[in-house]
Amino acid sequence: MIQKNLFSPDERARRYDAEHARRLRALAYRMLGSRAEAEDIVQDTWLRWIEVDESTIDNPGAYLSRLATHLCLDKLGSAAARREQYVGTWLPEPLLEDEILFGWAPNPERQAEFAQDVSVAFMLALERLSPLERAAFLLHDVFDLEYDEIAHHLDRNPDACRQLASRARRNVKADYARREVAEEERQRLAKAFAEALRTQDISTLAQVLAEDAVMLADGGGKVSAITKPLRGNVGIAKALVGWARLDDNRGWRIVPTVVNGLPGCLIIDDRNHGELVQTLALAPAADTGGGIGAIYIQRNPEKLAGIMQMLAAKE
């Protein structure tokens, strides 16, 4: 059947990229915690969209969001089974500051807010929700949709969606206290951490960390990484200093950056053609001025591939 669309295929593709892709990508990343799968959702949504006669759709943005939400829910069903078999700690694929600015925030005006909403702690809190809870919570609290509209997205009635979002909100608040990280604090945390690590003094580094600090690392069973959260400032300081001393022998390069809205760095192996070894993100303690409360290390090569591609494209 020939569709009588208002726009040519090229124009539809341009409008999709300009008006919808950012929002769908932002939704999918927070739903799935995977940049690669988020990009797949954006592409799969487009492939379904080009089969639709746009002249019959009153609100393309809402229609596309609904399509993407259903695709994400389908993906989450299979992801849950994979997570049960995941080796060690699961962390989301990292996003760098440049990527948040260019293509991942729902729109340019919400970049700062988006950086907070993709912090690793927030993403881990979302992981503990059911797929429907996660969808209802994100669509209402993050994307500002009314429950009547969410009901159309999830094929539920508005009251059920309100209950899903409320339950999710309670669970997220129990796991995650949202905190804005001012630029001054970013720089203070990053500078203090880098200097303490440079001195390789365990006592100095421990003082930079909160007493109840936690360090999580994701190797996915593909590279070495601590398989359980490491807790306590002294134990973490010892582990990091041990790593730093090995780093001196390896010749790895540290590149300061912002990872998922948090101060952090890339670890690059220049001896191996500039391979990205890991990303590291520093989260402030809940108490302002209380030092670093959490360190998130991503080492899984599959989850670093997207950043590697971006770095290669810049060369």
Judgement on whether residues 191 and 129 belong to the same structural domain of the protein: no
The CATH number covering residue 140 comes to 1.10.10.10
Judgement on whether residues 162 and 197 belong to the same structural domain of the protein: no
Judgement on whether residues 238 and 208 belong to the same structural domain of the protein: yes
State the pTM of this model.
0.83
What is the dihedral sign for C-alpha 252, 254, 257, 263? Answer: positive
Q: What is the pLDDT of residues 143-202, one digit of tens each?
A: 888 999 999 889 999 999 999 999 999 888 776 665 566 677 777 888 888 888 888 889
Judgement on whether residues 29 and 72 belong to the same structural domain of the protein: yes
Tokens describing residue 25: 């990508």
Query: How many structural domains comprise the chain?
Result: 3
Rounded to whole angstroms, the Cα distance separating 115 from 99 reads: 10
Judgement on whether residues 173 and 203 belong to the same structural domain of the protein: no
Judgement on whether residues 132 and 51 belong to the same structural domain of the protein: no
- Which of 86, 111, 132 terminates a domain? The answer is 86
In the sheet that holds 262-269, the strands lie side by side as 230-231, 209-218, 292-298, 275-284, 262-269, 252-259
pLDDT value, residue 2: 45
The CATH number covering residue 198 comes to 3.10.450.50
Helix axes 35-49, 301-314, angle to 10 degrees: 70
**For residue 96, is it within any domain?**
no
Q: What is the pLDDT of residues 251-300, one digit of tens each?
A: 788 888 889 888 888 988 888 888 899 999 998 887 655 689 999 999 99
Judgement on whether residues 144 and 243 belong to the same structural domain of the protein: no
Q: What is the pLDDT of residues 192-213, one digit of tens each?
A: 888 888 888 899 999 999 999 9
Range of the domain at 61: 1-86
Rounded to whole angstroms, the Cα distance separating 215 from 195 reads: 18
Which residue would you say has higher pLDDT here, 67 or 4?
67
Rounded to whole angstroms, the Cα distance separating 138 from 141 reads: 5
